[in-house]
C-alpha cells in the first residue's frame, strides 16, 4: 500500500509518484563540499531544472543521479529504489551531454543503435526502436550521415534519440543546448518541450540559462554554493524569490539594502542605507518575523516612469535619466535617483520616441510591486 506525503501546494502524492529523490546528499572534492546536504523530489513525468551559476554544484548533482559520481553521504533513489552501489549502466536513466558525445566513426543509425546492440537485443527490435527514435527527433532522412556531416542542432537530435531509444525512466540533460547559437537554441527549446509533452517522461535538466529554465520547466531548483536556495514553479521563483540571491540571479532586479523603520498590519516601511524610504506590502516572512536588516527587491518591469510628479504617496522618487538602451520590443532605462542610487527600468516600446539623457524624471512603484527579504 502506498504511503502518502503532502506537498506545499496542498495536494497529496504517493512516494511512488517521485522518479528521483535526493535525501541529505553530500559530495566532497578535496574535502570541500560540492553538494552540501541537498534534498529534492522530482515528480513522475515532470520537467525539472537545476539552475545556478558556474561552480554551484548543479552538474555534480546530475552526475550523482546518473551514477558518474558517488554520494559521500545521504541517499539517491530512483522510483523508490536506492542507487547505492548501482553502476551508471544499470540505472534506469540516460544522459544527454552538452558535447553530444557521438561516435564520429558511426553514422546516425549506428550511433542510435549502439546501446541496444550492447544489450544484445534482437535485430528486429533494434530496427523498430531506432526507427521510432528517429521519427521522434525528425531525423529519418539523415540516418546514413556521419556526425561531421551534421549541424549542431542535428547532432543534438541524434544525442537525444540515442538516449531515448533505451527507454529510460528519467532523461538527464546536462546543459543540452549550451553549444548552440541563440536562434537554434530557441528552436530546440520548443522541440525539447514538445518532446517532453509527447513522451510524458521525466526530464531533469541542468542549466545556467535562466530563460531556458523558466520557459521549459514545471519546477526549478536554484542552487548556490552547493546548496538549494529555493524550489518552485517558474512563476514562484520569479515573483516570490525566498532569498536575495534568487531575486538577483533569476531575471533582473533592483536590490535596496536597509533596515525596518515602521511596521503595521499590512505593510513595512524600510529606510535604505542611502536614506530612501520604501513601503512594502509583500514579504518572504511575516512583518513580525522579518529581521531588522532586509533587502527590498523591485523588478525593472514593475517600475513606472513619469516626466511629471504622479499623485502617489509612497515609493515615488525624483531622479534623472543617465542611460537609455533601445532593445526593439523594450527600452532599458538607467535612472539615477536624488540619493545617488541607480536603478534599472524596463518598459515596452510603445511610444516610438525616446526622451533625452539627463531628462529629469520620476520613478515610482506600488507597495505590492516590491518584496522584502530578510538578510
At 2 the pLDDT is 37
Provide the whole-model pTM: 0.86
pLDDT for the residue 8: 44
Among the four given CATH numbers 3.40.50.720, 3.90.1150.10, 3.60.10.10, 3.40.50.300, the one describing domain 4-239: 3.40.50.300
* 2.40.50.140, 2.60.40.10, 3.30.1330.20, 2.102.10.10: CATH of 252-374: 2.40.50.140
Please report the pLDDT score of residue 12 as a whole number: 44
For residue range 221-249, list pLDDT tens digits in order: 999 999 999 999 999 999 999 999 999 99
Rounded Cα distance, 167 and 328, in Å: 43
% residues pLDDT > 90 (the chain)? 52
pLDDT in tens, 173-209: 998 887 777 888 888 888 889 889 988 899 999 999 8
For 127-132, what is the mean pLDDT? 90
Q: For residue 323, give the DSSP letter.
A: E
Domain spans in the chain, listed from the N-terminal domain onward: 4-239, 252-374
Place of cell 546543459: 175
The pLDDT score that the predictor gives to residue 9 is 43
pLDDT tier at 138 (50, 70, 90 boundaries)?
confident
Beta pairing partners, 343: 335
Task: State the average pLDDT over residues 319-332.
Answer: 90
Please report the pLDDT score of residue 374 as a whole number: 85
90-104, 283-297, 301-315, 336-350: the lowest-pLDDT one: 283-297
Task: Give the Cα separation of 300 and 281 in Å (integer).
Answer: 18
Mean pLDDT value across the chain: 88
Per DSSP, the residues of 4-19 read EEE-TTS-EEEGGGEE
Examine the pLDDT at 10 and tell me if it is beyond 60: no
Amino acid at each position: 500500500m502506498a504511503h502518502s506525503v503532502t506537498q506545499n501546494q496542498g495536494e497529496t502524492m504517493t512516494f511512488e509518484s517521485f522518479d528521483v529523490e535526493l535525501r541529505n546528499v553530500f559530495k566532497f572534492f578535496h574535502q570541500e563540499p560540492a553538494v552540501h546536504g541537498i534534498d529534492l523530489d522530482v515528480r513522475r513525468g515532470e520537467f525539472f531544472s537545476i539552475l545556478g551559476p558556474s561552480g554551484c554544484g548543479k552538474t555534480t548533482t546530475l552526475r550523482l543521479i546518473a551514477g558518474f559520481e558517488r554520494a559521500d553521504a545521504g541517499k539517491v533513489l530512483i522510483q523508490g529504489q536506492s542507487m547505492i552501489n548501482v553502476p551508471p549502466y544499470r540505472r534506469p536513466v540516460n544522459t544527454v551531454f552538452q558535447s553530444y558525445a557521438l561516435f564520429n566513426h558511426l553514422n546516425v543509425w549506428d550511433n542510435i543503435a549502439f546501446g541496444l546492440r550492447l544489450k544484445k537485443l534482437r535485430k528486429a527490435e533494434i530496427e523498430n526502436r531506432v526507427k521510432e527514435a528517429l521519427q521522434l527527433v525528425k531525423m529519418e532522412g539523415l540516418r546514413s550521415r556521419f556526425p561531421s556531416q551534421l549541424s549542431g542542432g542535428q547532432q543534438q537530435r541524434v544525442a537525444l534519440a540515442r538516449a531515448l531509444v533505451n527507454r529510460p525512466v528519467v532523461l538527464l540533460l546536462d546543459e543540452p543546448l549550451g553549444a548552440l547559437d541563440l536562434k537554434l537554441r530557441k528552436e530546440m527549446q520548443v522541440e525539447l518541450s514538445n518532446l517532453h509533452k509527447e513522451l510524458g517522461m521525466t526530464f531533469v535538466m541542468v542549466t545556467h540559462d535562466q530563460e531556458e529554465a523558466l520557459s521549459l520547466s514545471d519546477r526549478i531548483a536554484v542552487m548556490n554554493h552547493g546548496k538549494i536556495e529555493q524550489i518552485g514553479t517558474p512563476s514562484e521563483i520569479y515573483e516570490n524569490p525566498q532569498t536575495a540571491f534568487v531575486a538577483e540571479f533569476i531575471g533582473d532586479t533592483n536590490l535596496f539594502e536597509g533596515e525596518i523603520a515602521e511596521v503595521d498590519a499590512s505593510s513595512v516601511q524600510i529606510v535604505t542605507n542611502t536614506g530612501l524610504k520604501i513601503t512594502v506590502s509583500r514579504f518572504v516572512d511575516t512583518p513580525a518575523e522579518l529581521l531588522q536588516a532586509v533587502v527590498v527587491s523591485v523588478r525593472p518591469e514593475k517600475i513606472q516612469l513619469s516626466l511629471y510628479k504622479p499623485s502617489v504617496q509612497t515609493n515615488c522618487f525624483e531622479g534623472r535619466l543617465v542611460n537609455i538602451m533601445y532593445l526593439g520590443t523594450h527600452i532599458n532605462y538607467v535612472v539615477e535617483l536624488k540619493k545617488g542610487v541607480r536603478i534599472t527600468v524596463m518598459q515596452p516600446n510603445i511610444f516610438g520616441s525616446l526622451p533625452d539623457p539627463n531628462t529629469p524624471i520620476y520613478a515610482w512603484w506600488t507597495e505590492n510591486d516590491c518584496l522584502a527579504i530578510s538578510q
